[in-house]
Amino acid sequence: MDKTFNAITVEQKKSGEFFQSIKERNIYHLPEGDLLIRVKYSSLNYKDSLSYSGNKGVTKIYPHTPGIDAMGIVEFSNTKDFNEGDKVIVTGYDLGMNTPGGFGEYIRVPREWVTLLPDNLGDSESMILGTAGMTAGLCVNTIQKKHKIQGKKAVVTGSTGGVGCIAVMLLAKLGADVTAITGKINSKDFLHSLGAKEVLLRNDYLNSVKKPLGKGVWDIAVDVAGGKMLSALIANMKYGGIITCCGLVDSPSFTSSVFPFILRGINLIGIDSAENPINKKAEVWNNFANHWKLNAIQNISRNVDMHGMMDEINTILEGRQIGRVVLKHK
């Protein structure tokens, strides 16, 4: 098939330096796959900014198009599982890492990466959620299977970021008493608007935790920070509390003792959204389309074009992003 499209493209010079531009590509540049999808929307995640910057830990093959999320319409299918015209979602796996991603107007992927867009979930809504929503949803799904949420004390770290925003909204919707922890001093009104009953500044909270086994404060936690923040949360969990760990924006390393685990029976559970089986992802998407429906989700996002997305990537790298950024293709 001979068809051209535009894509944000990252290339590497002979000097080793990386540069970015919007380039015209051809369908034949895309890898082999079961489904050719015309992308309508994508979204910005921290991993995208790393790929865009030339981080070889994320993307090894350049030239490359980032974008670990995509919502679009099937234009060609060689599998009976999907038909031309189907609206579909792809998040994670290798999309936007070494496989050209959603920052281009077309992708071609294996059928195992793809799920149908639920009827009650809007096109752009799915990408306001994106990998951030999927990660928050998997955290909450895990918590629900082990712990009651209604009326419980919940805490969310990194609460102005994509995962954090959605986790605050979802836990509040499900009846938890949510505390949001943030490093952004001017974000309190924003977080209260999402459903947080209390907002704590990151450094104030960290300075209040003096021992590896402190006062039991939280029943459930969604942590995107890792590092010192995760250590502090472990110290402050109530008996039988559960922490879902899904990020490392602070640090991949943390310190603790066995005391919270053997004296309070707390649970620390890792959450991976990239490689989760597609049937589990479909379950989360259906939850968001139905009993998890977040009617105010549009309030945490803004739409941009490719040029705008390139500007927003610098914002997320500088730690200044609040909410979600959605790429709308023409």
Verify that 147 and 237 share a domain, yes or no: yes
Is 37 inside a domain boundary?
yes
Verify that 20 and 104 share a domain, yes or no: yes
Is 226 inside a domain boundary?
yes
Q: Look at residue 2 and tell me whether its pLDDT is greater than 80.
A: no
What are the residues whose beta carbons fall under 8 Å from the beta carbon of 190, sequence distance 6 or more? 160, 322
Distance in angstroms (rounded) separating the CA atoms of residues 318 and 299: 22
Q: Look at residue 317 and tell me whether its pLDDT is greater than 90.
A: no
pLDDT tens sequence across 34-90: 999 999 999 999 999 999 999 998 999 899 999 999 999 999 999 999 999 999 999
Verify that 17 and 101 share a domain, yes or no: yes
Q: What is the dihedral of CA 93, 96, 98, 104, to 10 degrees?
A: 130
Verify that 239 and 195 share a domain, yes or no: yes
Verify that 184 and 221 share a domain, yes or no: yes
Residue 154 pLDDT grade (very low, low, confident, very high; cuts 50, 70, 90) = very high
Cis before 63? omega within 30 = yes
Contact 191, 250 (CB under 8 A): no
The kind and range of the H/E element at 204 are helix 202-208
Verify that 158 and 209 share a domain, yes or no: yes
Distance in angstroms (rounded) separating the CA atoms of residues 19 and 325: 22
Verify that 178 and 49 share a domain, yes or no: no
pTM summary value: 0.94
Verify that 111 and 235 share a domain, yes or no: no
Distance in angstroms (rounded) separating the CA atoms of residues 123 and 119: 10
Instruction: Note down the domain range covering 53.
Output: 4-117+296-328
Verify that 139 and 182 share a domain, yes or no: yes
Verify that 257 and 218 share a domain, yes or no: yes
Segment 289-295 shows an average pLDDT of 95
Please tell me the total count of domains within the chain.
Answer: 2
What are the residues whose beta carbons fall under 8 Å from the beta carbon of 149, sequence distance 6 or more? 140, 143, 171, 174, 175, 176, 220
Distance in angstroms (rounded) separating the CA atoms of residues 80 and 19: 40
Distance in angstroms (rounded) separating the CA atoms of residues 255 and 226: 10
Is 103 inside a domain boundary?
yes
The domain that contains 15 carries what CATH number? Answer: 3.90.180.10
